Structure 1
Amino acid sequence: SEGGRVRHLQTADGGVVVERLQRFDDAARTYSYSISESPFPVSEYLATLKVEALGDSSAKVTWSGVFTPVAGVTDAAVEELFSGVYSGGLDALRGNFPG
């Protein structure tokens, strides 16, 4: 919605995630988004994806995030959660580019 700046996702267990595009730089091949609603135990979440060319037919994608865990949740627990999210997302992206 909002011209592509907001998207609503549904998790496998029915949770809703609302993301808002914060920055987009086509020339630098980077964008950042925040999460305004989710079942995740964090606040102040901001993630950035960056694509760096490694040659004519390869690239490096970096996906990083910063966040504040909610009370009672450790940094390590949330880092493990998002590490899984990022790994799964990057594996799915890699699957779109066989070879």
Structure 2
Amino acid sequence: MRYLVAMIFLTVSATALAQGKQLHDANCMQCHASLTGGQPNSLYTRDERGVKSLDGLNKRVANCAIAADVNWTPDQQKQVVEYLNSQFYKF
């Protein structure tokens, strides 16, 4: 039973991360590329990045969603945060 619960959790987590990546790539990459000379992920890896905590990441994603004029549900916004945290920030 524990194995089944663990497998379901991992499947749900992997699906959420994949959906977060898809939302991010479809809605964020073009703007980030324009800000960084064509290297959109460098916003997340630069030394002077502004996001310093998980709370800060949540706020940044919320603000960027407004700026990009996307209408993400709270769950979609959470998926993007989880994707960015797992790939770049690791809070």
TM-score relative to the length of structure 2: 0.32
Which structure ranks higher in relative contact order (CA pairs < 8 Å, sequence separation ≥ 6)? 2
Query: Structure 1 length as normaliser, TM-score?
Result: 0.31
- If each structure's strand is expressed as a fraction of its own residues, which one has the higher value? 1
Higher helix share: 2
